[in-house]
Structure 1
Amino acid sequence: MMNKKFQPLFEKVKLPNKVVLDNRFVLAPLTHVSSHDDGSISNEEVVYMEQRSKDVGLAISAASNVTDLGKAFPGQPSVAHDSNLEGLKRLAQAMKKNGAKAIVQIHHGGVQALPNLTPDGDVAGPSPISMKSFGEQEEHHAREMTEVEIQETIKAFGEATRRVIEAGFDGVEIHGANHYLIHQFVSPYYNRRDDAWGKDRLKFVSEVVDEVTATVKEYGSKDFIVGYRFSPEEAETPGISMEITQSLVKHLIEKPLDYLHVSLMDIHSKTREGQYKGQERVKLLLEWIEGRMPLIGIGSIFTAEQAIEAVESTHVDLIALGREILLDHNFISKIKDGKEDEIISEFDPERKDRHHLPPNLWKQFNKGFYPLPRTDKK
């Protein structure tokens, strides 16, 4: 029997397009480095995504590149070609099997793309920059995208959306967070252009969102979900500030979106600087969204207590599980069955079942690629 105090986690959530989610839990979009080299879906990935999607209201797939130039991870899934459809159909069925709404996160790495994974080692973004990206030892150089390439990339987000619809998914999440292409256009650190795309740093966001929603109108149903993920503040100077995020949020709530998703390492994280310094980011965001659409919060939730505390203290509508649902894919069912004290909240490299992770992802965890509570580091 479930402990009554966890009941609010299992309340249904209605999206602006009237779709109802079974509970407040969301499977965060997690890089699993397990697709085939050509971006097609692997069997391991299907099994893993089915396990992780089984109890959530909303399940979001790993960031999936919309063009070959945008590939930013080894083993990244692709939505760039019609040839990807066959695997995507299998993935959609697996993720939807137990009633979760299945979403594909559509993504372009921009200057963070990896030259060893892109055609001719080419990398491009808003402005030229040299930087290290996912797992790189040496810096790579990224060039500036041309006007034509920008237009082609916007269209590619639309084409990716069409494929996601054809594959039978319930929605897309536009990846505007974590220093990837859409985020780069918003950021004064990455976007130093002096053309229209630099003068109005929300122009690219706006056109991608419009392209995606127009594609949904043409090919999808009114039940098709469109979400948007963003990072509220950047460490870089001059970077994205909470003030810039306020204008982004005010812009996004006027669009026909079904939710916003904030990328954070800690749900209670506070604003670093500026006029909102010291205030909790999630509370500010909820104020700015004005109840127009749900907000997904995320960040360092490893126990049932932390999950209920996050919902009750911030009043966030939905709560995404990232690292924790990888450690224990029964996290939600254990809360439901009153077995929350049996939840696995630490990475144990000695576990025979290896936390049911695909081999490449287990290796990343074991190497300490992601910050995690661990049994071997007390």
Structure 2
Amino acid sequence: MANYQLLEPFQFNNGVSLKNKVVMAPMTTMSSFYNGKITQDELNYFAARAGGPGMVITSVANVSEIGKGFEGELSVASDDMLPGLTKLAATIKKDGAKAILQIFNAGRKSTTSVLRGETPVSASAVAAEFPPESETPRALEQEEIEQIIVDFGTATRRAIQAGFDGVELHGANTYLLQQFYSAHSNRRTDEWGATLEKRMKFPLAVIKEVTETIKQYAPSSFLLGYRVSPEEVETPGIRLEDTLYLAKQIQNQIDYLHLFMGSYKRTSLNDPNDTTPILEQFAARVGRKTPLIGIGSVETPEDANEVLDNGGDLVAVGRELLREPQWVQKIQSGDEASIRNTMSLSDMEELSIPGAMQTYLQESFGSVMNFTPDGKKAENYQNQAAPMEGFEKKL
């Protein structure tokens, strides 16, 4: 067996220990019930993959009904969800992995149809540029903003009750936390907008609310993570320096920072003259004080080690764990030759991929999945956004 860094244990600053440095990335399953309750198909999906990684981050869960982003989405918006969430946490933790519940509000990335007639909300009444048919949201009122902040705290309390080891705030993929920070989606002139510092007020308020909830209800070992998309391609919009600044501001308030990119080798989408990989820039700016999760097109143990060599403290694996649920175990046993890096459409049932997710992968992400029999290799996302990032840009 090769001496891979990814198999080494890891300890967070608050004392939480992981059996290895591999994180199962959060991936949308589209497979929860209509009301957000967990299904047995989802439990089977996580059970098939949770044995190897040191930490598993769930599919995203909405913190309130107005924050639901798509059909088949997990919810943590009411106490009715607790029995299912408790089963999910226990399923993930069965073989020693830490279970992290990712929570969010989709904001303007939702639709009137998904919200059963309600208009999507955001910082301002500005439609997203991608997809082109995005609806124009309604600008949130002061009281609504304050309620959503509370909703994040209440969702965290439920995650603690359900037995999770932490929560991850989804501030990426152009969802509501990112929408408030972005000059594209936030055109407010009150205390929640107008300047970069004021646009940052909402994510900071959510972090504060969640932190206070953790102190009140959770043991000291409970983790708080934050996920970011490094850049937006809209003008105006978030640029790399903006997100590096945000990371610096929150680094002492979170237990880890999770980057979201289609490739761990990604360089700036907006500045072709900036050839330093984004992962390395975050590692240099945030440093080892706040653990950094690197992600993007990790398929082999060599890829994972490169992430760790280039500044990641942990490495998130997504699509490869769909194709090969035993990825970590096969590396541990020296059986890398048997690792699948392609996926046959006929194998998805065997791989415990829920039926709704099977359709979703084929229709929306066929270009990134290495599906056979067409034999098409997923594109290199070093210089372009991947479909799952919520926007499109090619250089």
TM-score band, normalised by the shorter chain?
Answer: over 0.9
Return the offset for 1:84. Answer: 0.7
In structure 2, distance between residues paired with 1:332 and 1:230: 25
The separation in 1 between residues aligned to 2:272 and 2:358, in whole angstroms, is 42
Deviation at 1:352, TM superposition (A): 6.9
Task: Name the structure 2 match of 1:342.
Answer: 338
Match of 1:174 in 2: 169
Aligned to 1:310: 307
1:13–1:23: 8 Å Cα contact kept in structure 2? Answer: yes
**1:276-287 to 2 correspondence within 5 Å?**
277-287=274-284
Q: Distance in 2 between matches of 1:195 and 1:233?
A: 24
Equivalent position SS for 1:302: coil
User: C-alpha distance in 2, partners of 1:344/1:309?
Assistant: 20
Local SS of the residue matching 1:333: helix
Alignment correspondent of 2:145: 150
Q: Match of 2:358?
A: 362
Alignment of 1:158-197 (within 5 A): 158-197=153-192
How many angstroms apart in 1 are the aligned matches of 2:273 and 2:290? 22
What are the within-5 Å matches in structure 2 for residues 103-142 of structure 1? Answer: 103-131=100-128, 138-142=133-137
Misfit runs of 4+, over 6 Å: none
Deviation track 1:11-49 (CA, whole Å, cap 9, x = no partner) reads: 111111111111110011110001100001111111111
Q: Give the distance between the partners of 1:131 and 1:310, measured in 2 at CA.
A: 31
Which residue is equivalent to 1:326? 322
Distance 1:165 1:198 in 2: 32
What secondary structure is seen at the aligned counterpart in 2 of 1:290?
Answer: helix
SS at match of 2:365: coil
Indicate if the aligned counterparts of 1:354 and 1:362 stay in contact, CA closer than 8 A.
no
Residue in structure 2 matching 1:92, options 89, 95, 102: 89
Hey, what's the Cα distance between the residues in 2 that align with 1:57 and 1:72?
28
Which of 286, 294, 310 is the aligned partner of 1:289? 286
Separation in structure 2 between the aligned mates of residue 105 and residue 355 of structure 1, nearest angstrom? 23
TM-aligned CA distance change 1:274 to 1:306, over 3 Å? closer
Distance 1:288 1:36, change over 3 A: same
Q: Which residue of 1 aligns with 2:57?
A: 60
Cα distance in 1 for residues equivalent to 2:105 and 2:204: 16
**Counterpart contact for 1:242–1:276, Cα < 8 Å:** no
- Among candidates 250, 253, 256, match of residue 252 of structure 1: 250
Distance (whole Å) between structure 2 residues aligned to residue 106 and residue 335 of structure 1: 31
Contact 2:252 2:290 in 1 (8 A): no
Deviations 1:42-99 (A, max 9, x none): 1111111122221111110101000100101211000000111110111110011010
1:12-27 map, 5 Å: 12-27=9-24
1:230 is matched with: 228
Contact 2:109 2:134 in 1 (8 A): no
Q: TM-score, normalised by structure 2?
A: 0.90
Cα root mean square deviation, aligned:
1.7
SS in 2 for 1:121: coil
Q: Which residue of 1 aligns with 2:199?
A: 201
Shift of 1:373: 1.6
Q: Which amino acid aligns with 1:234?
A: E
CA contact (8 A) 2:7 2:20 kept: yes
Single out whichever of 364-373 and 144-153 deviates more from structure 2: 364-373
CA distance in 2, matches of 1:97, 1:230: 29
Q: Give the partner amino acid of 2:360.
A: Q
The 1-side partners of 2:37 and 2:295 are apart by 28
CA distance in 1, matches of 2:272, 2:303: 29
Deviation at residue 132 of structure 1 after TM alignment: 7.6
Change in CA separation of 1:131 and 1:185 when aligned onto 2, cut-off 3 Å: closer
Shift in Å at residue 354 of structure 1? 4.8
Deviations 1:152-182 (A, max 9, x none): 0000000000000011111000110010000
Relative distance call for 1:3 and 1:42 in structure 2 (3 A) is same
1:28–1:321 contact (8 Å) kept in structure 2: yes
Q: CA deviation at 1:374?
A: 2.2
Amino acid at match of 1:341: A
Question: Could you list the runs of 5+ residues in structure 1 that have no partner in the other structure?
Answer: none
Distance in 2, Cα, partners of 1:290 & 1:132? 34
- Mean Cα displacement is larger for which, 113-122 or 29-38? 113-122
CA shift, 1:120, in A, is 2.8
CA shift digits 1:312-343 (9 cap, x unpaired):
2x131100011110111011111111111111
The residue identity in structure 1 corresponding to 2:169 is I
The equivalent residue for 2:71 is 74
SS of match in other structure, 1:62: coil
The number of equivalent residue pairs is: 371
| Contact 1:234/1:241 (8 A) holds in 2 | yes
Whether contact under 8 Å (2:149, 2:206) holds in the other structure is yes
One-letter identity of the residue aligned with 2:115: T
In the alignment, the residues of structure 2 paired with residue 139 and residue 189 of structure 1 have an alpha-carbon distance, to the nearest angstrom, of 14
**TM-fit CA distance, 1:289:** 0.9
Q: Distance in 2 between matches of 1:139 and 1:184?
A: 14
Three-state SS of the structure 2 residue aligned to 1:217 is helix
For 1:140, what is the secondary structure of its paired residue? coil
Give 1:119 shift.
4.3
TM-score, length basis structure 1: 0.94
- Asked whether the 8 Å contact 2:37–2:81 carries over to 1, the reply is yes
Cα deviation, residue 145, structure 1: 0.5
- For structure 1, which segment, 360-369 or 108-117, has the greater mean C-alpha deviation from structure 2 after superposition? 360-369
